[in-house]
Amino acid sequence: MRRLTLRQFRVFEAVARHLSFSRAAEELHLTQPAVSMQVRGIEVILGMPLTEQLGKKIFLTEAGREVLYASQAITARLDDLQHNLAQLRGIESGLLNLAVTSTVNAVATDILVRFRDRHPKVSIHLDVSNRAAVLDQLVGNRIDLAIMGQVPDGLVLEATRFMDNPLVAIAPPGHPLARRQRISVQELAAESFLVREAGSGTRGAMERFFAARGLEIRSSMEMSSNEAIKHAVQAGLGLGILSLQTLEMELALKRLAVLKVEGFPIMRHWYIVHRADKRLSPAAQAFKSFMLNTA
C-alpha cells in the first residue's frame, strides 16, 4: 500500500482550514491544480473522498475530518521538533512566530524593537489580527506565542498577565458629554457608538459591561480597526470605547477627550499566551521572559 507523504498532509491541512482549494494554493504558493492533485492523491490511496462540494461551498467528509485531525497532529509534532532542534542551536539563529490582537499591537511592537536590539539574529514573524483569528492560530499550533486580552475557558492554554489594559469612553472635545464631570452609564448607553467587528476582544468587553447593567449599546457603525474608530469619533460619527494605551497621541493633541463615566475605565489585562503542551523554543522563551520583565 502506498503511504501518504508529509507534503500531502500539509496541503490537505491548508485546504481543510480554508475550505478552499484556491486559498490553500495561495497560502502554499502553489497552483490550484497542484493542490487538487495532492488531495486527489490522498483520496486514491485511501479509496474514499475527503471533500464534497455543495453549490459553491466545499465541505469535509467524515474521512476528510479524520485526515485533518491526523494532519494537525503530525504537523504539530514536526513544528515541535523544529523548535527543539532550535533549542540545541541556541537563540542566535532562532525563529519567533508571534500573533497579537490589533489593540495591543503598539505595545507589542515597542517591546519587539527592544527585543530585536538584544537579539538581532532572531527572525520574527508578526501577525496582527482580531481575537478570534489569534485564537485560531493558537489552536492550530501555527504560532509560538500570542499577546491578547481575554483568554477563553475550555482551551488548554498557559496565559501570563503582564499589563493592565483600561478601556475608556472617548468623544470629540466639542461633544456635550466631554464637558461633564460626571456621566451615568445610562446616559452613555443612550449615545451611538462606533464598534469593532464581531470577534474583537474590545467589543466583547463593551457588550459584557453594558449587559451586566441591563443596558444595550446602540451601534451606528462597525469598523475593523482602532485607528478607523478614532478617526470616526474625531469626525463626530459617534462615540467609542478603546484602550487608553492606544490614545496617547490623540489625547496629547486634544483631538479626542476621555469621558468621565461612572464605572469606567473598564479594566482588562494583557496576557502572553501559548499552548500548555507546547515546548517553547529558546527564541520564544527569551521573548516571553523579556516581555514580562519589560512590561
Cell (9 digits) for 136: 485560531
Closest listed residue to residue 123, CA positions, set 132, 112, 131, 134 = 112
Pinpoint the residues of the chain covered by CATH 3.40.190.10.
90-163+270-294, 165-268
Structural fold of domain 165-268:
D-Maltodextrin-Binding Protein; domain 2 (3.40.190)
Give the containing element (helix H, strand E) for 240.
Answer: strand 240-243
Note the pLDDT of residue 92. 61
Cell (9 digits) for 32: 490550484
Low-confidence ranges of the chain (pLDDT < 50): none
User: d(Cα 25, Cα 20) in Å, to the nearest integer?
Assistant: 9
Residue with C-alpha cell 478603546? 242
61 near 49, Cβ under 8 Å? yes
Closest listed residue to residue 152, CA positions, set 134, 178, 175 = 134
Note the pLDDT of residue 274. 92
Q: How far apart are the first and last CA of the chain?
A: 55
The CATH number of the structural domain formed by 6-77 is 1.10.10.10
**CA angle 126–288–10, rounded 5-degree value:** 45
Note the pLDDT of residue 93. 62
Note the pLDDT of residue 90. 57
Pinpoint the residues of the chain covered by CATH 1.10.10.10.
6-77
Q: How would you classify the pairing of strands 123-129 and 95-101?
A: parallel
The identity of residue 22, as a single letter, is: S
Closest listed residue to residue 178, CA positions, set 193, 189, 188, 167 = 188
Its pTM surpasses 0.75: no
Q: Which CATH architecture has domain 90-163+270-294?
A: 3-Layer(aba) Sandwich (3.40)
Task: Name 128's bridge partners.
Answer: 100
Note the pLDDT of residue 109. 84
Judge if the upstream peptide bond of residue 173 is cis by omega within 30 degrees of 0. Answer: no
User: d(Cα 223, Cα 205) in Å, to the nearest integer?
Assistant: 16
Note the pLDDT of residue 89. 56
